[in-house]
Amino acid sequence: MAFSPIGNLDLGKYLQIVFTRGAMVQVSKSQREWEMISRMRDGNPNGRERRFMFINSLGYAAAQTANPALTSSFPAGQKASIAEYTALYKEFDVTVELEYNLWKAASLSPEKYAEPLAKEIELKSIVARRIMGIHLFGDGTGVFGTASATISDSASEVAVTLKAGSAGHIRWFQQGDLFKATNQDGTVVAPSVSSGTFSAYRVKRIEPKNDKVIFEAVDASGSVLSVTSSGLAEDDVFYRYGQKVIADLSSSISDYGSATDVIPGLGSLVANDGRVVHGINMDSSAGGTILDLGGSTALSTDALQEGLDEVDMRVGKGEFSYKQAVMSPEARRELILSREDDRRFNTVEDTLRGGKNFGYMHDEDTVLFVPSEFCPKNELYVLPEGKQDGNKVISYFGTDFEPVQEPMGSKMFLKPGNGGGHEKNIVMYMGTRGTLVCHRPASVLKITNWS
C-alpha cells in the first residue's frame, strides 16, 4: 500500500501547513572583510579623484663630513623628493529586483514573515559587501582566477583547477555567481554548445582544498546549456560577468589604479615589484615590505619576526603599532601547528566581548592572527594601526552602499520592458563610490610564497 498524505483526506485541507521560522541561508554571509574596509574609512569620495603626496627621499646627500683643518665649502644641497599622486574613484552598483505582484501580495498579507523586498535588499547588501571584501585582496585587474593546464569538459560541467601562484583565489568564486573567461590579452573564450546561445559560466560548486571550480554554461535566462568543448587553456583568466573594462595582461599595465573599473586592493597597494598604482612606482621607499620565502621555506614565527623587524627599520621603530595579521585559514592552521614550539605565541582573551584568539609577540606589539576566507592561501598581511601625517595608513575614501533615489524621494522603480511600457517588476538600485589608498606602503608587511 502506497503512502498517502493526510491532505488527501476530505477534511485534511483544513489543517494548516506550518513553516519553520524564516528562510535558512545555505551559503556564507560573513562580512569580516567589509568590516576591515569600514575601519579603514577616511572620508567621503568628494570631487572626482583623490590627490596625495609622498616624500620619497629626505635628501641625505646634503649632510657630509668635513676636515676642520681645511677651508672647504658646505656640501651641495639636496632637496627632499616630493611627488604628487592621484587615485581615481570607482563605482560599484547593485540592483534589487522583485515581481510586483509578489511584493503587493506580501504587503497585504497580515501574517507575512518578512517583506520580500526587504529580504532581497538585505541579501544584496551582503553580496555587495562580500565582493568588496574580495576586491580588498585583489590587484585592480578584476582577475578572479587563472586556469592551470588541468581542465576537464563534459556536457553538464566544466571543471577548472586554478594555477598556483597566479592571480586569483578559489574562495573568490561564490555559489551561483556568473563569470566570463578570456585569454591574457582580454579576448573572450566562449565554449561551443550543442544548442542555444552561451551567455556566462555559472559557479556550480568549488573544491577549496583542490583549488578547483566547477562551472556550468548558461544562457541569458539562466538555463543550462550542453557543452561540446570549453576551449579553455592554461593561463586563461576568469572575470565576473558584469565587469566592463578588461585589462590586457599580455603587456605591461600602465597603472593598476586605472586599468579597469575595479578598485585596486592590497595586491597592488603594497607591491614592491616596480608596478605603478595611482601613479606611484611601487619600489624602493614607496614599495611595500615584502618577505618572499622562495617557495622552499615553511611559514613560521621566524618569518614574522624577520618581516616585522624589516618594517621597523624601514618606517621607524614605534611609528605604528601592529595588532592583526590577516591570513587564510590554511595559513593560520600552519601557525597553530607550530604554536607549542615558540613561547612568543600568546592566547588573547577579551573579557568584555567574549572573544578569544591567539597571536604573536613582537617587542611591544601583540599581533593577532585573523583568518579571512578571501585572503589568498599563500599570502599573509600584517596591517598597521595609526596614522601617517593625519591620514590612516590604508584609507577607504567611500561610503556604505546607499539607495539611489528619484528627486521626489522614491527608491523603487518599475522595470522598463523590452517592447515599450513597463514590466510587472519593481527594482531598487544601490551603489557606492570610492577607492583605497595606502599612504605608507612600507609599513605593511606581506609574507608570501612559503612551502
DSSP 174-229: -TT-EEEEE-TTS-B---EESSS---EEEEEEEEGGGTEEEEEEE-TT--B--EEE
pTM of the model: 0.87
Do 246 and 211 sit in the same domain of this protein? Answer: yes
Tell me which of 137-146, 387-396, 410-419 is least confident. 410-419
Q: Domain boundary residue among 251, 277, 300? A: 251
How many domains are contained in the chain?
2
State the pLDDT at residue 353: 42
Percent of the chain with pLDDT over 70: 91
Average pLDDT for the chain: 87
**DSSP-based three-state secondary structure for 448:** strand
121 and 198 assigned to the same domain: no
- Position 449 scores a pLDDT of 95
Is residue 3 domain-resident?
no
Q: Which residue has the higher pLDDT, 328 or 120?
A: 328
Domain end call among 251, 277, 306: 251
Same domain? 332 vs 245: no
Q: Decide if 325 is inside a domain.
A: yes
Asked whether residue 391 is assigned to any structural domain, the reply reads: yes
One domain for residues 234 and 365? no
158, part of any domain: yes
Return the DSSP state at 408.
Answer: T
4 assigned to some structural domain: no
In a domain, 218, yes or no: yes
The one-letter code for the residue type at 69 is: A
Which of the listed ranges 79-83, 280-284, 424-428 does the model predict with the highest average pLDDT? Answer: 280-284
Do 47 and 114 share a structural domain? yes
Residue 345 pLDDT greater than 70, yes or no:
no
User: Residue 199 pLDDT more than 80?
Assistant: yes
Q: Which three cell numbers stand for residue 265?
A: 586592493
- Give mean pLDDT, residues 351-365: 64
Domain check: are 330 and 390 in the same one? Answer: yes
From the CB of residue 147, how many other CB atoms can be counted at a distance below 10 Å? 23
The yes-or-no verdict on residue 406 having pLDDT over 90 is: no
Higher pLDDT residue, 408 or 235?
Answer: 235
Same domain, 228 and 260: no
Give per-residue pLDDT as tens, 88-123: 999 999 988 888 777 777 777 655 545 777 788 888
Q: Which of 205, 231, 251 is the last residue of a domain?
A: 251
How many C-beta atoms surround the C-beta of residue 30 within 10 A?
A: 15
| Of 206, 218, 202, nearest in space to 162 by CA | 206
Higher pLDDT, 362 or 373: 373
Residue 227 has pLDDT above 50, yes or no: yes
149 and 126 in a common domain? no
Residue 325 CB partners (closer than 8 Å, separation 6+): 304, 359, 360, 367, 368, 369, 370, 380, 381, 382, 383
Q: Are residues 220 and 358 in the same domain?
A: no
- Average the pLDDT over 412-431 and give the result: 79
Residues 214 and 291 in one domain: no
Residue 110 is predicted with a pLDDT of: 53
Higher pLDDT, residue 124 or 100: 124
Nearest to 85 by CA among 440, 383, 381: 440
Domain residues for the domain of 238 are 142-251
With respect to residue 6, please indicate whether it lies within any of the assigned structural domains.
no
Q: Which residues pair with 427 in a beta bridge?
A: 97, 413
Claim to verify: residue 246 and residue 258 sit in the same structural domain: no
76 located within any domain: no
Q: Are 309 and 418 contained in the same domain? A: yes
Kind of pairing between the strands at 212-218 and 158-162: antiparallel
Determine the Cα–Cα distance for residues 121 and 389; give it in Å rounded to an integer. 39
Q: Which of 26-35, 166-175, 310-319, 324-333 has the lowest mean pLDDT?
A: 26-35
Q: By percentage, how much of the chain surpasses pLDDT 90?
A: 56
Backbone angles phi, psi at 247, to 5 degrees: -80, 150
